[in-house]
Amino acid sequence: MLIKTHRDGFMHPVSSEITPQAVYRDRRDLLKLMASGAAGAGLASWASRQAFAQTARPGKLAPLPGAKSNVAGAVTMEKVTGYKDATSYNNFYEFGTDKADPAQNAHTLKTSPWAVEVEGLVKRPTRFALEDLLKLSTQEERIYRLRCVEGWSMVIPWVGYSLGKLIERVEPLGNAKFVEFITQADPKTMPFVGSRVLDWPYVEGLRMDEAMHPLTLLAFGMYGEVLPNQNGAPVRLVVPWKYGFKSGKSLVRIRFTDREPKTAWNKAAANEYGFYSNVNPNVDHPRWSQATERRIGEDGLFAKRRKTLMFNGYEAQVGQLYAGMDLKKNF
């Protein structure tokens, strides 16, 4: 609130209103904690409480709770995107190219029965029924930023486990250098499979060390529930330091190879979508800048665009994977 003072006749805020009392008290407690040396622990537990308080179950689908993740960088403290935004503004070209299409059309996706075939250069090729895949490791909640190549981003609480857990299980051979991710392409249940926008199925790929990185998530759920169809049910990939299109939805096949996989977007426009696709504010897309992003849910005339961070803010965790590489060439 603004008040008028006697002295100069100008309007000033009342100081007690600049810092609301509760915040002030919290700060004073924090200062005391710091003095006692307990601030680190105090902050950590405050932070995890914050993160988990943000992610109350929306109550729309079957519950899929996740344990707190210990993986470094797995929980960002940024405000989580609302469930409605995260499930109504999607890219899933099998169901249409408009952002609203997947939410409208993906009810036809048949997610049960479902299996994922793991094959190629591995000692133990295995066909995993979804139920077995779900039980392969502890489900964790990870709050990741997802930055789309088109210049928008979201913060989503995913539920899943590191893809590395599955990879260890099938024992890759020494000559396995890449992993190819092949997604469902069923024209009967996916109305846009067959359209000429992409060469179906939608395929993605990672280098072996990227696939083994603990942040690479095999996700079965979000917001404490199983994945909605439009977000890639029943199982998808989430690679938080890469542009969103690397995170293939509705996976049916994971293949270990000795060659860089031909990915769907690279086949469609090689000069625009490279194999690596690491989030990089210094390398523009040929048709637009990648330096800033719009956070979904923060729209409005005056909402400021955010500066995009190198590797989407995961540089400390993944930068080493690209040491010595020219990221302008390997975009």
Q: Is 244 in the site for ligand MTE (CB under 6 A)?
A: yes
Give the contact letters, 131-170, x = binds to ligand MTE (CB under 6 A), - = no.
---------------x-x----------------------
Nearer to ligand MTE, 135 or 305 (CB): 305
Count of residues of this chain found to bind ligand MTE when the rule CB under 6 A is applied = 17
Nearer to ligand MTE, 123 or 188 (CB): 188
Q: How far is the CB of 29 from ligand MTE (least distance, A)?
A: 38
Q: How far is the CB of 221 from ligand MTE (least distance, A)?
A: 12
Give the contact letters, 49-88, x = binds to ligand MTE (CB under 6 A), - = no.
----------------------------------------
> Looking at 55, 76, 81, 90, which residue binds ligand MTE (CB under 6 A)?
90
Q: Is 220 in the site for ligand MTE (CB under 6 A)?
A: no
> Looking at 83, 161, 200, 202, which residue binds ligand MTE (CB under 6 A)?
202
Q: Is 231 in the site for ligand MTE (CB under 6 A)?
A: yes
* Sheet of 115-120, strand order: 126-129, 115-120, 251-257, 178-183, 203-207
Q: Is 249 in the site for ligand MTE (CB under 6 A)?
A: yes
The torsion angles phi and psi of 4, rounded to 5 degrees, stand at -100, 130
Q: 241: Cβ–Cβ under 8 A, 6 or more apart, which residues?
A: 215, 278, 279, 311, 312, 313, 314, 315, 317, 318
Q: Is 312 in the site for ligand MTE (CB under 6 A)?
A: no
What number of H helices and E strands is found in the chain?
10, 15
> Looking at 55, 153, 247, 266, which residue binds ligand MTE (CB under 6 A)?
247
Structure tokens at 29: 């407690």
Structure tokens at 303: 């909402």
> Looking at 55, 69, 76, 91, which residue binds ligand MTE (CB under 6 A)?
91
Q: How far is the CB of 230 from ligand MTE (least distance, A)?
A: 7
Place of tokens 């995260």: 86
> Looking at 92, 114, 161, 276, which residue binds ligand MTE (CB under 6 A)?
92
Closest residue by Cα to residue 278 from 242, 327, 329, 234:
242
Q: How far is the CB of 122 from ligand MTE (least distance, A)?
A: 23
CA 298 from chain centre, in angstroms, equals 18
Q: 185: Cβ–Cβ under 8 A, 6 or more apart, which residues?
A: 94, 193, 200, 201, 202
Q: How far apart are CA 288 and CA 67, in angstroms?
A: 39
Q: How far apart are CA 173 and CA 257, in angstroms?
A: 9
Q: How far apart are CA 245 and CA 225, in angstroms?
A: 22
Inter-residue contact 319 to 311 (CB < 8 Å): yes
- In the complex, residue closest to ligand MTE by CB: 244
Q: Which residues bind ligand MTE (CB under 6 A)?
A: 90-94, 146, 148, 183, 202, 231-232, 244-245, 247-250
